[in-house]
Structure 1
């Protein structure tokens, strides 16, 4: 397990490795962070907020988050920068500090990911059944269901399922992608049993 230092962007959402997220940056600390990341060809960390808000004083994040890479950006005339980031790998915060510009920076341990593994047919069937029950008119293609890679499938489903941020954070903290998918099935079934999607 290797360690590195990352600037952090605490948010009210969870991003998984393989997932995609669109962000709008307007605070000087995050605009400066993005400028440094682009200049250095580096990424930053996205983590769910445990306490606090996205804007203003630095928020307290959960300890496990996702390293992201910037895949696209566009500057608006209003000074807002729209970016798209892709989740790369998970990390665990070892220590953190608030810099002078109120940017949160952390020393993190990069967590090992299980190599891409196909989703077992019974688990894939359970996930498809839940999907069809929740979205009967859902229009998906096989490319939406990357059955060859449990980590990528979880990232796709996490974007679509109605789980709350705390449930998604719980899944992110699990090390085994198959266990993550199995727990997702359990959470989703419980939600449907309670009358939810």
Structure 2
């Protein structure tokens, strides 16, 4: 019927459970050494297909046969691969699309699932978007200053949803996986940016402290030579 929303049929997707939350647009290097994931990579390369990166919800490790993934992940596209001297496969990948698992299958050496691709909706408030952009621009300038550079006009994502994704990915080293997963699972753009805000605040606080320390050391160094 005209005007009805388009619904994508579920598709089959190979899964790579990891202790990491991947976001659309983020680059993720991977070292692959298990035979089952070597098979997964070979099949994806042969078909030109992506695979799904999902956070481990239950299980001891990536190699646990009974591992249980979270229900929302991100597809990863293989950009390049090479084999190191030890035989491990080194991948360069980039996140593409959020997906939601509808049915999980364990009939192959690796996990696979029937997934669909949910659409984001809603929008962030103008106030929240302005605040996030101002804080992120400050963060970029602080990072440049820390290494002795200067960033006059930082490049920021135009889309609020993409901005939230970038903030979460850049904050992966200081944020808990469950908080990052919360950002990934938020299809409402306003809610996603709200969930990413504490991550941005943590990065900004750390950058301010480091920039202050670096500036003090530089000043002390100049004073010693005067």
> TM-score, normalised to structure 1's length?
0.82
Pair 1:125 & 2:134 matched: yes
Provide the secondary structure at the position in 1 that maps to 2:21.
coil
Of the candidates 60, 64, 67, which is equivalent to residue 59 of structure 1? 67
Is there any run of 5+ residues in structure 1 with no aligned partner, and where?
none
Give the secondary-structure state (helix, strand or coil) at the position aligned to 2:146. Answer: coil
**SS of the counterpart of 1:49?**
strand
Unaligned runs of 5+ in 2: 1-6, 208-226
Hey, what does 1:167 align to over in structure 2? 179
Of residues 145-154 and 83-92 in structure 1, the stretch that sits farther from structure 2 once superposed is 145-154
Deviations 1:155-195 (A, max 9, x none): 43223222111100000000033431222113544x58xx8
* Structure 2 counterpart SS, 1:167: helix
Note the aligned Cα RMSD (angstroms). 3.2
- The reply on whether 1:23 has 2:30 as its aligned counterpart is yes
Residue 50 of structure 1 corresponds to 57
Q: Which of 79, 92, 113 is 2:100 aligned to?
A: 92
- Any conservation in 2 of the 1:71–1:86 contact (CA below 8 Å)? yes
What SS is found at the alignment partner of 2:187?
coil
**Aligned equivalent of 1:71:** 79
Greater CA radius of gyration, 1 or 2?
Answer: 2
State the distance in 2 between where 1:13 and 1:25 align: 15
Count of matched residue pairs:
193
Structure showing greater relative contact order (alpha-carbon pairs closer than 8 Å, 6 or more residues apart): 1
Decide whether aligned partners of structure 1 residues 129 and 146 sit closer, same or farther in structure 2, where only a CA change above 3 A counts: closer
